[in-house]
């Protein structure tokens, strides 16, 4: 069964057709990559898949549930979590509180229990804090629990955002260019982290420019170009697809052969 | 760890309780009590307004409208309809909360200046209605409010009023702190930080903005009702634009996203005009100057700026 799928998805901004008739299915338990040149519509697609934008046409399924047109928080409630290209920290909160926000849809949210600080709320808060601390250790930020989220280094923010996304116990995790702005050793650590997340049974959808990261963690890939789906399938097949080589991967793999990190 | 929940999480709440309890020792006469009660009333509004402005990041220039509705609501119910105050007060709070929910739903979709304009419009409507419906409200001259009576006793003594307002302020601060330290409070702070990230983290942004709006409106109405019963007389000015501006100034001056900042802001800016009675005509100029000065010198407000200064100097001392 597919964890996340789209049928005939389209989105226009004025005259610009950012995403045109894109269909794909992400198999559960896999690492699925979405690649394409700048402006290909990758981030727009991710925004559609998390309810940030409403699609102009087409349908989106999470598991077998149709969530087309639902607001973002409902995607989260049904197990879709994501990170952003530039980390979106909650700047007025500590690192661990940022992660605890991620648990929002799994927490007890009664206003009365919260204001009176009833025992049920205290238990729920303790559980949240424990889970958040565990996730921060998982992404390698165990020593930064009470750090000011806005003051973290860039790489740490990216990992904190992943911890926050994982806090909702998602079935599908969408990562928007997680390796962007990271140095090669940080990118390697990140690749290992994505592997550990996938090994834990979370389906990962990866939007990425860094081909080394994509090639080392994902087996299936969707190639976007000018908002349309150029190719979709197993990594090896897509790499050999002449259209892909012509439009995007060809020059990229040549560059890749010379310098495996630069893209 | 087992008793961690019993430890005060915020030393500030102990300080506030102590100050409130000990203040009568220096309140020399009736006039001092009057100012202290006024501080308490404004502080209750500001703690609520700070949940909205400071934590959730939504500006309101119309909260005096809710204050006025609370004040006029209880005085009309207690006066014209002879309801007992203990029934009138909760009825008015519920009615204002419902009204805030109805008004807030459409206007909280607006952002920034547009939301400020919409709340401003709401405040003006309330103020105009209170002035023109003079058969019920007494019009621009205002109306007398029957005394607050409960269980056969009338609350009239300044000391008793001080105790009631002080206890309600401490309770409000405690409830607000609990809220901020809960999933709801984190959701409010998160949507202020990044609305998109909050939404994809599972937070229903519109619902939480509405929660903050309704709570702040209800607290403003509570303060308005207390002020009306205490003073025994109300005028529509208390529901007007200037009062809304004063309240926002108190929140910004004291410190956004700081509950004690709201209390301190209310205390300083309520007392200031009393001290500056010689400059009575220039009160609004003083307010404006305080607002501008705050934005330039300490944009985060008095209490957060001081707290940061203390935190910065503490590790330096530890090293020595």
Tally of domains in chain B = 1
Contacts A105 to B, Cβ<8 Å: 201-202
Q: Any bridge partners for residue B148, and if so which?
A: B155
Which helix (H) or strand (E) segment holds residue A252: the answer is helix A250-258
| Partner B contacted by A107 (CB < 8 A) | yes
Cβ–Cβ under 8 Å, residues B89 and B218? no
Residues A156, A200 share a domain: no
Residues A8, A56 share a domain: yes
Residues A143, A192 share a domain: no
Closest chain B C-alpha to A260 CA, distance in angstroms: 33
Residues A74, A126 share a domain: no
Nearest to B231 by CA among B169, B286, B304, B161: B161
Identify the pLDDT of residue B316.
54
Structure tokens given for A213: 């990261």
Q: Is the pLDDT of residue A5 over 50?
A: yes
Cβ–Cβ under 8 Å, residues A109 and B184? yes
CA dihedral for A115, A120, A124, A130, sign (positive or negative): positive
Closest-CA residue of A relative to B179 is A115
Cβ <8 Å between B186 and A72: no
* Cα B316 → chain centroid: 36
3-class SS of residue B249: helix
Cβ <8 Å between A50 and B257: no
- How many Cα atoms within 13 Å fall on the side-chain side of residue B219? 28
Nearest to B196 by CA among A122, A130, A73, A116: A73
Domain boundary among A151, A168, A185: A168
Is A87 part of any domain?
A: no
Residues A62, A48 share a domain: yes
Residues A106, A69 share a domain: no
Q: Whole-angstrom distance between the N-terminal and C-terminal Cα of chain A?
A: 33
Cβ contacts of residue B4 below 8 Å, gap of 6+? none
| Partner B contacted by A82 (CB < 8 A) | yes
Residues A174, A135 share a domain: no
DSSP A95: H
CA dihedral for B230, B235, B239, B241, sign (positive or negative): negative
Tell me the three-class secondary structure of B29-53, residue by residue: CHHHHHHHHHHHHHHHHHHHHHHHH
Contacts B186 to A, Cβ<8 Å: 93, 97, 100-101, 104
* Cα B151 → chain centroid: 28
Identify the pLDDT of residue A248.
62
3-class SS of residue A51: coil
| Partner A contacted by B183 (CB < 8 A) | yes
Identify the pLDDT of residue A106.
87
Give the pLDDT confidence of A43-67 residue by residue, as tens digits: 999 999 999 999 999 999 999 999 9
Say which residue the tokens 């547009």 belong to. Answer: B114
Predicted confidence pLDDT, tens digits, chain B (320 residues): 344 444 556 778 889 999 999 999 998 899 999 999 999 999 999 999 999 999 999 999 999 999 999 999 999 999 999 999 999 999 999 999 999 999 999 999 898 889 999 999 999 999 999 999 999 998 999 999 999 988 888 888 899 999 999 999 999 999 999 999 999 999 999 999 999 999 999 999 999 999 999 999 999 999 999 999 999 999 999 999 999 999 999 999 999 999 999 999 999 999 988 887 777 777 778 778 887 888 899 888 999 998 888 888 876 555 44
Is A84 part of any domain?
A: no
Nearest to A123 by CA among B28, B2, B46, B57: B2
Cα–Cα distances (Å) from A50 to A67, B197, B320, in that order, read: 9, 11, 52
Nearest to A101 among B201, B204, B257 (CB): B201
Note down the domain range covering A251: 1-79+170-263
Q: Is the pLDDT of residue A247 over 90?
A: no
Contacts B205 to A, Cβ<8 Å: 73
Phi, psi of B255, rounded to the nearest 5 degrees: 135, 115
Residues A60, A186 share a domain: yes
Nearest to B288 by CA among B240, B238, B253: B253
Least confident span in A16-30, A77-91, B226-240, B306-320: B306-320
| Partner A contacted by B175 (CB < 8 A) | yes
Tell me the CATH number at A32: 3.40.50.300
pTM for the structure as a whole:
0.90
Which A residues in the span 5-44 are in contact with B, Cβ-Cβ below 8 Å? none
Cβ contacts of residue A113 below 8 Å, gap of 6+? A120, A121
Identify the pLDDT of residue B170.
97
CA dihedral for A178, A182, A188, A189, sign (positive or negative): negative
Closest-CA residue of A relative to B196 is A52
Tell me the CATH number at B249: 1.10.3470
Residues A232, A203 share a domain: yes
For an interface test with A, give the residue of B200, B255, B301 to mutate (most A CBs within 10 A). B200
Contacts B201 to A, Cβ<8 Å: 73, 76, 81, 101-102, 104-105, 164-165, 167-168
Cβ–Cβ under 8 Å, residues A163 and A155? no
| Partner B contacted by A147 (CB < 8 A) | no
Structure tokens given for B259: 């509950």
| Partner B contacted by A50 (CB < 8 A) | yes
Nearest to B183 among A82, A91, A107 (CB): A107
Residues A180, A74 share a domain: yes
Residues A211, A140 share a domain: no
Residues A123, A59 share a domain: no
Closest chain A C-alpha to B81 CA, distance in angstroms: 31
Identify the pLDDT of residue B199.
95
Quick one: average pLDDT of A11-19?
Answer: 91
Q: Chain A to chain B, count of Cβ pairs less than 8 Å apart?
A: 108
Which B residues in the span 200-219 are in contact with A, Cβ-Cβ below 8 Å? 200-205, 211
Quick one: average pLDDT of A120-145?
Answer: 95
Cβ <8 Å between B197 and A90: yes
Domain boundary among A141, A168, A195: A168
Closest chain A C-alpha to B14 CA, distance in angstroms: 17
Domain boundary among A143, A168, A193: A168
| Partner A contacted by B308 (CB < 8 A) | no
Is A86 part of any domain?
A: no
| Partner A contacted by B223 (CB < 8 A) | no
Structure tokens given for B204: 């229903």
d(CA B318, CA B320): 5
Tally of domains in chain A = 2
d(CA B242, CA B199): 35
d(CA B141, CA B258): 37
Cβ–Cβ under 8 Å, residues B199 and A164? no
Is A210 part of any domain?
A: yes
Closest chain A C-alpha to B211 CA, distance in angstroms: 9
């Amino acid at each position: 069964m597919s964890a996340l799928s789209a049928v005939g998805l389209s989105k226009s901004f004025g005259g610009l057709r950012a995403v045109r008739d894109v269909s794909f299915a992400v198999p559960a338990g896999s690492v699925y990559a979405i690649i394409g040149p700048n402006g290909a519509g990758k981030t727009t697609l991710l925004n559609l898949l998390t309810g940030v934008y409403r699609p102009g046409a087409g349908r989106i399924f999470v598991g077998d549930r149709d969530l087309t047109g639902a607001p973002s928080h409902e995607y989260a409630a049904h197990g879709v979590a994501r990170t952003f290209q530039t980390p979106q920290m909650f700047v007025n909160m500590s690192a661990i509180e940022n992660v605890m926000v991620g648990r929002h849809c799994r927490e007890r949210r009664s206003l009365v229990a919260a204001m009176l600080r009833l025992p049920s709320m205290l238990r729920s808060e303790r559980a949240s804090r424990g889970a958040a601390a565990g996730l921060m250790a998982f992404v390698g930020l165990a020593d930064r629990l009470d750090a000011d989220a806005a003051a973290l280094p860039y790489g740490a923010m990216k990992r904190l955002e992943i911890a926050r996304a994982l806090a909702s116990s998602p079935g599908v995790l969408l990562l928007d260019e997680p390796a962007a702005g990271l140095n090669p050793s940080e990118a390697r650590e990140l690749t290992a982290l994505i592997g550990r997340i996938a090994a834990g049974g979370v389906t990962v959808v990866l939007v990425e420019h860094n081909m080394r990261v994509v090639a080392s963690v994902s087996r299936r890939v969707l190639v976007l170009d000018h908002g349309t789906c150029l190719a979709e399938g197993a990594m090896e097949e897509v790499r050999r697809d002449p259209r892909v080589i012509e439009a995007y991967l060809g020059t990229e793999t040549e560059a890749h052969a010379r310098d495996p990190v630069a893209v | 760890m087992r008793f961690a929940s019993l430890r005060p999480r915020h030393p500030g709440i102990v300080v506030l309780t102590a100050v409130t309890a000990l203040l009568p020792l220096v309140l020399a006469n009736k006039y001092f009590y009057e100012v202290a009660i006024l501080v308490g009333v404004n502080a209750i509004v500001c703690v609520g307004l700070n949940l909205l402005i400071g934590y959730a990041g939504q500006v309101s220039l119309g909260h005096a409208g809710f204050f006025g509705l609370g004040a006029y609501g209880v005085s009309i119910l207690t006066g014209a309809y002879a309801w007992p105050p203990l029934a009138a007060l909760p009825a008015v709070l519920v009615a204002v909360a419902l009204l805030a929910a109805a008004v807030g739903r459409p206007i909280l979709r607006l952002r920034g200046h547009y939301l400020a304009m919409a709340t401003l419009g709401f405040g003006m409507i309330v103020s105009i209605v209170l002035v023109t419906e003079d058969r019920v409200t007494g019009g621009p001259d205002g109306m007398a409010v029957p005394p607050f009576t409960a269980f056969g006793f009338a609350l009239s003594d300044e000391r008793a009023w001080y105790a009631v307002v002080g206890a309600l302020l401490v309770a409000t601060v405690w409830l607000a702190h609990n809220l901020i330290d809960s999933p709801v409070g984190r959701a409010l702070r998160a949507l202020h930080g990044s609305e998109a990230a909050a939404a994809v983290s599972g937070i229903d942004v519109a619902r939480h903005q509405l929660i903050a709006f309704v709570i702040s409106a209800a607290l403003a109405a509570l303060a308005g009702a207390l002020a009306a019963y205490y003073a025994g007389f109300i005028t529509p000015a208390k529901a007007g634009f200037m009062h809304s501006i004063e309240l926002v100034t108190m929140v910004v001056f004291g410190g956004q996203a700081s509950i004690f900042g709201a209390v301190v802001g209310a205390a300083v800016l309520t007392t200031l005009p009393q001290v500056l009675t010689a400059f009575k005509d220039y009160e609004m100029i003083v307010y404006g100057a305080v607002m501008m000065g705050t934005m330039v010198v300490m944009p985060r407000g008095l209490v957060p700026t001081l707290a940061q200064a203390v935190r910065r100097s503490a590790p330096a001392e530890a090293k020595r």
